[in-house]
Chain A
Amino acid sequence: MEHIEKSRFAHVGESAHDREAIARPSLTFAQDAIRRLVKNRVALVCVLLIILLSAMSAFAPLFSPFDYREQHYSHTNAKMFTVCNEEGTPGFGHMHIFGTDTLGRDLYTRLWMGGRVSLIIAVTTAIIDLILGCIYGGISGYFGGTLDIIMMRLLEIINGIPYLIIVILLMMVLEPGMLTIIIAYSVVGWIPMARLVRGQVVALKQQEYVAAAEAMGASPARVIAKHLLPNTLSVVIVRVTLAIPNAIFSEAYLSYIGLGIPLPRCSWGSLAQLGIQNFRMYPWQLLIPAVCISLTMLAFNMFGDGLRDAFDPKLRR
C-alpha cells in the first residue's frame, strides 16, 4: 500500500455547513412555478396569442375606416383584400382585408368587434363562475356537516341537467343581448367550480400540514393565507383558464342554433354561423371566424395545461 503523508490525516471533524449542503437551488413555490412556465415554450406562445387576439379585438375596430354596421350594397360578399369603391363613404379607397358579408359589411371590422363580444362574454362568465363557485364551494367545504350535505345534494340534482339545455331554456325566456348570454352561462356555469373548490377545501382541511400548522399555533388567518389558499388557488386558476374556452364554445354553439347575440351586433360564433350559410361559395367567411374561435380556445386550453403543469410538477407529462 502506498505511503501517505501524515499531514493529510490531520483531524478536521464534522462540518455543520457541509452536512446540510443542498446542491439544488431552493425556490419558492411561485418562483418554481414561474420558472417552469417560462421554460414551457408552448404556453408562452399561447399567452402571446391571447394577448394579440385581445389587443386586436380592443383596438382594431377603433382604427378601421369601416363601421361594423355599415353596409356596402355595391360589393356584397366581396373577396378578401377588395378595395372599397363606394364613393362618399369614409372607407372609400380602403381595403376590405377579409372581404365583406352578404350585406356588404366589412368583415375585418366585424371580426374584431365579434372578438370583443366573444372575449368579454367568456372572461366575464369565467370570473362570475370563479366568484360564485368559490363562495358556494368554500362555504360548503369549510363548514361541512349537514350544511355541506344539503348544499352538495342540491348541486348534484341541478348538475344532472345538461349545461347547454339549461342555457338554451334561459336564452329562450330572457331578452336577447349580451347581458342575457352572460347571465344564462353563469346561472349553472359555476357549479363545477363550486364542486372543485369544495373538494379542495375538504381535502386540504384534512391534510397533516394544516393540522401541523394549527398545532404550532398558527392563526386561522395564517392557515388560510399560507396553507389553504396557495394550494387551492393553483387548481382554481387552472380551472378558470379552462372555463374561458368552454364559454367561447358555448357562445359559438348557441349562435349556431340561433340563440346568439342579436343583429346587427356580432360575435365570433354568429359570424361563423353566417359563414356556414355561404360556406360553399365564400369559404373564408366561415374560416376566418372559425380560425379565431379555434385559436383562442386552443391558446387558452394549452395555456391552462401549461399552468397546471407549472403548478403541479407531479402532473408534468
Chain B
Amino acid sequence: MAERVLTIEDLRVSFDTYAGEVQAVRGVTLHVDEGEVLAVVGESGCGKSVTAQTIMKLNPMPPARIKGGKIDLAGHDIVKASDKEMQKIRGNEVAMIFQDPMTCMNPTTQVGKQIVESIKLHKKLNHAEAKAEAIRCLEQVRIPNPEERAKQYPHEFSGGMRQRAMIAMALSCNPKLLIADEPTTALDVTIQAQIMELLGELKDKINTAIILITHDLGVVAGIADRVAVMYAGKVVETGTTDEIFYEHKHPYTEALLRSLPSTDQGKREPLMSIPGTPPDLLAPPKGCGFAARCRHCMQICKEEQPPEFELSTGHKASCWLLHPDCPSAEERGAK
C-alpha cells in the first residue's frame, strides 16, 4: 500500500477581521497518499485555498489563526511546527504552485536563479551543480533552450511558460507533496490542458502526491484519483473520481456537476447554475451550509449540521438525506 503523505483532521482556521471572526475552514478532514492526485473542488470562498495554504502555514498569522485540528505531513506535526521547522519543510517536503504565474515570480531576478535558490536551500549542492540541476528541472517541464531561458527574467516568459517554470521550481527538490492552487485558472484554455497534462506526466514520473485545488470539475476528471468537494469551509463529499462523478450523494456535488457544460452531442440538457452565493462565513449558518441553496432542503437542515455518512470505503458525504430515518421524497412533501 502506498505511503500516506498528508493527513488533515478536523482542521479549523479563522481570520480575525475588523468585522469579526471569519471561520474560513470549519473542520476539514482529508488525506493524500503517495503518487495520488486529490482534487479539492468548490466555489470561490469555500475554504479551499485557505486549507491548502495552512498545510504550508503560508497564511499570515495574524489575522489567520489555526483554531484546532491536526495536520500530519510526512511525519511532521504542522500545527505545532516552529517557523524554523516550517522552513525546512517548505520546498523540501511540500511545494506549491499558485494561481497567477504572472505575479508569482520575482520580477527582478532571473528565472534560473530563482530555481537555483530553492535547490541550494534544501540540497547540499554547490553553485554549478545547482545550476545544472535547475536547467534539468526546466528541461523536465519542457521549456525549450533551458540554458538560455534560465538567464531570462519572468517578464520575458509567456504565461504558460511561467507556470511551467513555477512547476519546475516547485518540483526541484522532489517534494513528497505538491499543492497546485488553481494552477490553470489564469491561463488560456489550450495552455490549461498542456499544464494539466504535464502535471499528470510528472506525477507518474516522480511519484509525488498532488493536491489540485480548482473550481473547475472539468479539469478534475482527467487527472484526479480522488475528489473532495468543499462547501462553506467543510468537506461535504469525498470519494474516488468515479464515485463523485457517477455516484455522488450530496446535492451540492450534484449541482456542481450539473453546472458543467456537456460536450456530449447526443444529450442536449440545459446548462444549470446554482442560484445564490455561498454563505458569509463571518456568521456561518447553524445548520447545513448549503441549506439555503438546496432544492432538497428540509427543516432539520436549517437546524443542525449533518453528520458524515460513509457510503462505501472512502466515499463519504454529509447530508441529512442520507440519514436512515429520512423518509422518501413524497413523504417529506417535496415535489
Contacts and interface: CB of A to CB of B under 8 A. Distances in A.
Interface string B284-325: 000000011111111111110000000000000000100111
A6 interface: yes
B16 interface: no
Nearest to A316: B18
Contacts of A12: 291, 297-299, 301-302
Contacts of B276: 14, 16, 18-20
B280 interface: yes
Interface string A14-54: 11101111111000000000000000000000000000000
Given A18-B292, A19-B292, A20-B277, A11 B323 contact: no
B19 A24 contact: yes
A62 B32 CA distance: 81
A240 B264 CA distance: 61
Interface in B226-283: 275-277, 279-280, 282-283
Counting contact residues on chain B (CB < 8 A from A), the size range is 20 to 34
A22 B45 CA distance: 13
Contacts of A7: 299
Contacts of A4: 300, 323, 325
Counting contact residues on chain A (CB < 8 A from B), the size range is 20 to 34
B303 A8 contact: yes
Chain A contact residues: over half helix, strand or loop, or mixed?
A: loop
A165 interface: no
Nearest to B320: A9
B332 A9 contact: yes
Given A9-B325, A14-B293, A23 B298 contact: no
Contact of B324 (A1, A14, A15): A1
B332 A11 contact: yes
B334 interface: yes
A24 B280 contact: yes
B81 interface: no
Interface in B72-103: none
A11 B297 contact: yes
Given A8-B303, A9-B300, A10-B299, A23 B294 contact: no
Contacts, number: 77
Chain B contact residues: over half helix, strand or loop, or mixed?
A: loop
B326 interface: yes
A12 B288 CA distance: 13
A13 interface: yes
B333 interface: yes
B144 interface: no
A97 B78 CA distance: 67
B68 interface: no
Contacts of B19: 24
Interface in A83-114: none
B107 interface: no
Contacts of B298: 8-12
Contacts of B282: 23-24
Interface of B: 19, 275-277, 279-280, 282-283, 291-303, 320, 323-327, 329, 331-334
Interface of A: 1, 3-4, 6-16, 18-24
Given A7-B299, A8-B298, A21-B280, 20 more contacts: A4-B323, A6-B327, A9-B298, A9-B299, A9-B327, A10-B298, A11-B332, A12-B298, A12-B302, A14-B292, A14-B295, A15-B292, A16-B276, A18-B276, A18-B292, A19-B275, A19-B293, A21-B292, A23-B279, A24-B19
